[in-house]
């Protein structure tokens, strides 16, 4: 039918529940808050929402530390609230994807508590990765691995054993060689599939299986490595990130082991037993793109996040290579390419693009760092979005990008909650700056995020201009740009189209202008310094910013993208 494999072309909107909308008044967003605002999402024109974790959790990593995979944390509501959300979303034609965190549990999960209580050598400990330490009294960690958030990846418990955690101390890694771990997660999948979810976003999908023997490794692990997303590009390539290190970040013994694929083949079969094209999307920081594509082979997951844009400069040649390489790698396995400009782990793309080395620094920005140029970043951010939405495949939006929100770069250090901030000894700025509660109403306290005005992180006063009610119905606003683009994208079926680069458009310098055809649409992104003239009689469908010239001779200013339909 027409909806078969809906995920191949879907625009999926990430809801970060604690910062989307608060219904209870405690300043933390919740599930009823999401349900109340589903009309907004329907009007925006997205196909699906992905909900970041809302499960029972002590919130040591904002819910990516799960204590009970089958219940809703009281700060977010109840299972009944989740069911309501799902029913209402489906009624509006919005699919719902939930986040599954299988690499680690919370230290408050029943299994981990039992493991601590039972002691060394017990079957309870075998579900996690407990080991004896090194050195005469076992006081050295079992190997030299470091946590993604900084510091050693091992913590010692009272009886002297150590447990592995690729992330925070409060996120012990499960042992995926253990059969009980496998059956438990298949049951968790069924629990949510039975409730009616349309799919799962799989957290740290590349991390579950570790190299046998847990060998030492001298590579670097950090939150986000520079990308070597483009096959064949060497580390000296100035279009790419300077900190590339050839993607070494995710090739160590803790990531992307061959054995992990067996798990996803099993899960594929679980989902295939349900009606309605349920889907799995891999969050896997794996390079190069050919290696990432192994997660979306026909019998594995349906999509994998393509993080290439997060580390690509605002440069026509670099973007063209990344787009081509992404499409090729996915075409080779028959999977749709996905596109991501922002998410809850990286600096918002409007702010990345407002930095001097525009586009290539996804790590946090602090108040002591170079500050982004907000106007330039917004202009480029809108141009980047219109380019992304003109590409075939599936696109992910992060809540607030439809408002053009920038990163909050001036958060007081003592308000920051991200464990990546303090575990790294403050060398990482952390991810709080992209997680600030959304502004819904320009004139309300807390910009209407909560009925009491409370917000778990403060919003900059300057955000009134970004509030939804300041943009809705306002020609030229970022919100109306997203709406128009999503509308056209759906009507013109761009998501299932195919890309052709257009060379030799008069006046368009290929070094600074990207021109591509997708179905009836020509997408032109001007990354150069001066204007680019549009072909005569080109019909402008949507533009990321004001155009110049007269009706007969329209030109596209710098840092602007347009979609046009050519005559004939
Ligand atoms: O693999 C990495 C670096 O080598 C990381 O980029 C890692 O894959 C990424 O940080 C995973 O993020 C996800 O899991 C984390 C959580 O804090 C993030 O919010 C989530 O998106 C731990 O659950």
> Which of the residues 168, 175, 198, 203 is marked catalytic?
203
Q: What is the pLDDT of residues 214-239, one digit of tens each?
A: 999 988 765 554 443 333 333 334 34
**Nearest-10 Cα torsion for 295, 297, 301, 302:** 120
Q: Which structure tokens are listed for 357? A: 């080395």
What span, in angstroms and rounded, lies between the C-alpha atoms of 316 and 514?
A: 6
- Look at the block and give the residue holding tokens 């026909």: 298
SS3 content of the chain, % helix, strand, coil (to 5): 30, 15, 55
Cα 154 to ligand 1 centre (Å): 17
Reference 394, options 440, 326, 482, 483; nearest CA is 326
- The pLDDT tens digits for 148-203 are 999 999 999 999 999 999 999 999 999 999 999 999 999 999 999 999 999 999 99
pLDDT surpassing 50 at residue 245: no
Q: Is the CB of 292 under 6 A from ligand 1?
A: no
Within 10 angstroms of residue 44's Cβ, the number of other Cβ atoms is 18
The per-residue pLDDT for range 302-360, each reduced to its tens digit, is 999 999 999 999 999 999 999 999 999 999 999 999 999 999 999 999 999 999 888 87
Domain ranges of the chain: 6-105+179-486, 110-164, 498-565
The answer to whether 165 and 155 are in contact (CB under 8 A) is yes
Report the run of H or E that residue 162 belongs to, with start and end.
strand 162-164
Residues 484-509: tens digit of each pLDDT: 999 999 999 999 999 999 998 998 99
Q: How far is the CA of 259 from the centre of ligand 1 (A)?
A: 20
Q: What is the pLDDT of residue 242?
A: 32
Q: Is the CB of 221 under 6 A from ligand 1?
A: yes
Contact 225, 242 (CB under 8 A): no
Residues 6 or more apart in contact with residue 48 via CB below 8 angstroms: 6, 7, 10, 11, 12, 13, 94, 95, 96, 97, 198, 199
Using CA atoms, how far apart are residues 6 and 281, in angstroms rounded to an integer? 13
> Cβ(281) to ligand 1 under 6 A?
no
Give the single-character DSSP code of 119.
Answer: -
Say how many residues make up the chain: 568
Collapsing DSSP to helix, strand or coil, 451 comes out as: coil
**Cα 75 from chain centre:** 23
Which residue has a Cα nearest atom 2 of ligand 1? 223
Residue 237 is predicted with a pLDDT of 42
The pLDDT assigned to 551 comes to: 79
- Tell me the CA–centroid distance for residue 204 and ligand 1, in Å: 6
Looking at ligand 1, which atom is closest to the CA of residue 250? 4
Contacts of 248 (CB under 8 A, 6+ apart): 219, 220, 225
Rounded Cα–Cα distance for residues 176 and 199 (Å): 21
What are 430's two structure tokens?
Answer: 């952390």
Tell me what pLDDT residue 220 has.
Answer: 72
164 vs 234: CA distance, rounded Å: 34
Selecting from 3.90.1150.200, 3.40.50.300, 3.20.20.80, 3.30.43.10, what CATH number does the domain 6-105+179-486 have?
3.20.20.80
- Tell which residue, 373, 399, 395, has the closest CA to residue 384: 395
Contact between 330 and 300 (Cβ < 8 Å):
no
CA proximity to 58, closest of 169, 215, 197, 222: 169
Indicate if the pLDDT at residue 1 is higher than 70. Answer: no
Which stretches within 390-467 are classed as H helix? 419-423
Calculate the alpha carbon distances from 320 to 85, 233, 356 in Å.
Answer: 39, 13, 20
Nearest to 184 by CA among 208, 211, 157: 208
Active site residue 414: no
Of the pLDDT bands very low, low, confident and very high (cuts 50, 70, 90), residue 428 is confident
* pLDDT surpassing 90 at residue 366: no
Please check whether residue 85 is in contact with residue 37, taking contact to mean a CB–CB distance below 8 angstroms: no
Rounded Cα distance between 396 and 374, Å, is 23
Instruction: Dump pLDDT digits (tens) for 128-142.
Output: 999 999 999 999 999
In the predicted model, what is the mean pLDDT of the chain? 93
The DSSP-derived string for 541-556 is EEESS--EE-SSSEEE
CA distances from 336 to 3, 68, 148, 485, 501 (A): 15, 33, 29, 20, 18
Answer whether the bond into residue 117 is a cis peptide, omega within 30°. Answer: no
156: its two tokens? 């010692």
Report whether residue 128 contacts ligand 1, using a CB cutoff of 6 Å: no
521 lines ligand 1 (CB under 6 A): no
Instruction: Establish whether residue 99 lines the binding site of ligand 1, counting it when its CB lies within 6 angstroms of any ligand atom.
Output: no
Instruction: Name residues whose C-beta falls within 8 Å of residue 19's C-beta, 6 or more positions apart in sequence.
Output: 29, 399, 435, 436, 437, 438, 456, 457
Rounded Cα distance between 2 and 266, Å, is 27
Q: Is the pLDDT of residue 435 over 70?
A: yes
> Mutate which of 61, 99, 203, 255 to test ligand 1's pocket (most atoms within 8 Å of Cβ)?
203
- Evaluate whether 452 touches 27 at the Cβ level (below 8 Å): yes
Q: Which residue has better confidence, 537 or 341?
A: 341
Q: Tell whether the model's pLDDT for residue 247 goes beyond 50.
A: no
pTM: 0.95
Tokens of 495: 């998501």
In percent, how much of the chain has pLDDT > 70? Answer: 94
Q: What is the pLDDT of residue 222?
A: 58
Q: Which residue puts its alpha carbon closest to atom 10 of ligand 1?
A: 223
Q: What is the DSSP string of 281-312?
A: EE----SSHHHHHGGGSTTS-SEE---GGGG-
User: What does the angle CA 431 – CA 436 – CA 441 come to, to the nearest 5 degrees?
Assistant: 160
- What is this model's ipTM? 0.97
Please say if the pLDDT value at position 240 is more than 50.
no
What is the pLDDT at residue 235? 37
67 touches 137 (CB < 8 A): no
Domain 498-565 has CATH 3.40.50.300: no
How far apart CA 449 and CA 146 sit, in angstroms, is 38
With a CB cutoff of 8 Å and minimum separation 6, the contacts of 253 are 145, 210, 211, 214, 215, 217
Give CA separation, 236 vs 309, 310, 361, in Å: 19, 19, 17
415-433: average pLDDT: 87
CATH of 110-164, one of 2.60.40.4070, 3.30.420.10, 3.30.470.10, 3.90.400.10: 3.90.400.10
The preferred substitution site among 204, 228, 435 for testing ligand 1, maximizing ligand atoms within 8 Å of CB, is 204
Catalytic site residue 328? no
Distance 168 CA to ligand 1 centre (A): 11
For residue 427, what pLDDT is reported?
Answer: 76
């Amino acid at each position: 039918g027409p909806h078969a494999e809906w995920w191949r072309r879907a625009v999926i909107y990430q809801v970060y529940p604690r910062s989307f909308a608060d219904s209870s008044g405690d300043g933390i967003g919740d599930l009823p808050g999401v349900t109340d605002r589903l009309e907004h999402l329907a009007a925006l024109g997205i196909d699906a929402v992905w909900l970041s974790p809302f499960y029972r959790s002590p919130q040591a990593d904002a819910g990516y530390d799960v204590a009970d995979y089958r219940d809703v944390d009281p700060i977010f509501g109840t299972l009944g609230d989740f069911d309501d959300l799902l029913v209402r979303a489906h009624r509006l034609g919005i699919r719902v994807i939930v986040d599954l965190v299988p690499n680690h549990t919370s230290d408050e999960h029943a299994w981990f508590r039992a493991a601590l209580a039972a002691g060394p050598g017990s079957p309870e400990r075998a579900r996690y990765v407990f080991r004896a330490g090194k050195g005469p009294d076992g006081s050295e960690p079992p190997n030299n691995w470091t946590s993604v958030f900084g510091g050693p990846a091992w913590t010692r418990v009272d009886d002297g054993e150590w447990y592995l955690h690729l992330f925070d101390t409060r996120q012990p890694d499960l042992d995926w060689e253990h059969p009980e771990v496998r059956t438990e997660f298949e049951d968790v999948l069924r629990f949510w599939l039975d409730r009616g979810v349309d799919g799962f976003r799989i957290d740290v999908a590349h991390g579950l299986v570790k190299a046998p023997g847990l060998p030492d490794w001298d590579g670097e692990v950090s939150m986000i490595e520079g990308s070597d997303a483009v096959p064949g590009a060497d580390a000296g390539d100035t279009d790419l990130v300077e900190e590339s290190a050839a993607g070494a970040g995710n090739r160590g013994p803790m990531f992307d082991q061959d054995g992990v694929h067996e798990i996803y083949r099993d899960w594929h079969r679980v989902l295939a037993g349900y009606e309605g094209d349920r889907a799995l999307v891999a969050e896997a920081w794996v390079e190069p793109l050919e290696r990432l594509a192994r997660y979306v082979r026909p019998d594995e997951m349906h999509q994998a996040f393509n993080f290439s844009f997060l580390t690509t400069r605002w440069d026509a040649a670099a973007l063209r290579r990344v787009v081509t390489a992404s499409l090729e790698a996915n075409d080779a396995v028959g999977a749709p390419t996905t596109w991501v400009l922002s998410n809850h782990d990286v600096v918002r793309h409007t702010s990345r693009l407002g930095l001097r080395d525009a586009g290539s620094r996804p790590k946090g920005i602090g108040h002591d760092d170079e500050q982004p140029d907000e106007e330039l970043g917004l202009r480029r951010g809108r141009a980047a979005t219109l380019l992304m939405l003109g590409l075939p495949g599936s696109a992910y939006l992060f809540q607030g990008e439809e408002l053009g929100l920038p990163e909050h770069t001036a958060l007081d250090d003592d308000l920051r909650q991200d464990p990546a901030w303090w575990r790294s000894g403050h060398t990482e700025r952390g991810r709080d700056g992209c997680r600030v509660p959304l502004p819904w109403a320009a004139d309300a306290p807390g910009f209407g995020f909560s009925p009491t005005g409370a917000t778990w992180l403060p919003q900059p006063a300057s955000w009134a201009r970004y509030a939804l009610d300041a943009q809705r119905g306002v020609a030229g606003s970022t919100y109306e740009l997203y709406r128009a683009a999503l509308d056209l994208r759906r009507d013109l079926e761009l998501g299932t189209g195919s890309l052709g680069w257009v060379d030799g458009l008069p006046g368009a310098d290929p070094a600074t202008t990207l021109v591509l055809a997708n179905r009836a649409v020509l997408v032109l992104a001007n990354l150069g310094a001066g204007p680019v003239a549009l072909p005569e009689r080109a019909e402008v469908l949507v533009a990321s910013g004001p155009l110049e010239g007269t009706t007969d001779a329209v030109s596209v200013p710098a840092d602007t993208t347009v979609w046009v339909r050519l005559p004939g």
